[in-house]
Amino acid sequence: MAASRPAPTAGVFDISTGTAELVHSIDGGWLLSINGAQSSHIDPDRPEQLDFEYMRQAAAAIADRYREPSTPLRVLHLGGAACALPRSLAQRYPQSRHVAVEIDAELARLAREWFDLPRAPRLRIRVGDARDVTESLLPQTRDVVMRDAFSGSLTPEHLTTVEFTQAVQKVLVPGGLYIANCGDRRDLNSVRSEVSTIGEVFENIALISDPAMFKGRRSGNIVVVASDGAVPDSADLERTLRSDPEPARLMTENAARAFGSGRVRRDA
């Protein structure tokens, strides 16, 4: 009989890029913070549970495009942490394959030690820089690329440029989805620039967030969904977003393009 996996232990742990803090939440899950910034929430007993609203929004967009659980999705996750979203999608799509790119080698080791993550080939954790890994992949080998990489509260600049976005486009199959989690302050300068940059490369774009975020009334996250095919946009998706514990709005077509009024970012 296989030995049971040891339970995670709350505490602060040294990792390659600083410290990780693991806290046991009242719902039975675990909250992971990296250098003081909340990074992941995962419940080992409920694989599909996603506590962070932007992860639920990204998962809803993927489910709107790929509705059959038997779909053999190939997903590249740029930013691993506790691998909450890869784990959830692996549960929803049993035939899917996931690669999570995590820059912090010790954090990747701890995530494997702490949580009941699917093993390769269902979920492989690759240690490295997200851009280096993306640029090393063969063309048209991924159905979805999910960017959720942060240094503190900001996405590293080299993951926000036209040149990086073109590398993402290259590894996607025709019509594949690029989903980017964009954090910003109330002025929205960063996310407007991100939308402009991603829209410079991809033919179609949609945005998901709560209405207050779109209006610049708070800091938070906006999920950008881009594709050279159709982006998720259906009544079912609208209902899913509205019925979420933190209701969100879907912005598409001309409204999404108009929101991207910032400068287009390019490599220095």
pLDDT in tens, 97-114: 999 999 999 999 999 999
- Indicate whether 242 belongs to any domain: yes
Mean pLDDT over 168-180 rounds to 98
Q: Give the up-direction half-sphere exposure of residue 94: CA atoms within 13 A in the CB hemisphere.
A: 1
User: What percent of the chain shows pLDDT beyond 90?
Assistant: 82
Cis preceding-peptide flag for 121 (omega within 30 of 0): yes
- Looking at the domain assignment, is residue 35 inside a domain? no
Asked whether residue 202 carries a pLDDT value surpassing 50, the answer given is: yes
Spell out the residues 6+ positions from residue 18 whose beta carbon is closer than 8 angstroms to its own: 34, 35
pTM: 0.95
The per-residue pLDDT for 151 is 84
pLDDT at 6 exceeding the cut of 70: no
What is d(CA 187, CA 218) in angstroms, rounded to the nearest whole number? 9
- Position 147 in a domain: yes
Per-residue pLDDT, 259? 94
Residue 7 lies in a domain: no
Query: In this structure, which amino acid lies at residue 22?
Result: L
Report the pLDDT value the prediction gives residue 2, as an integer from 0 to 100.
43
Range of the domain at 91: 47-259
- Supply the CATH number for residue 247's domain: 3.40.50.150
- Whether residue 18 is contained in a domain is answered as no
DSSP letter, residue 173? E
Domain membership flag for residue 214: yes
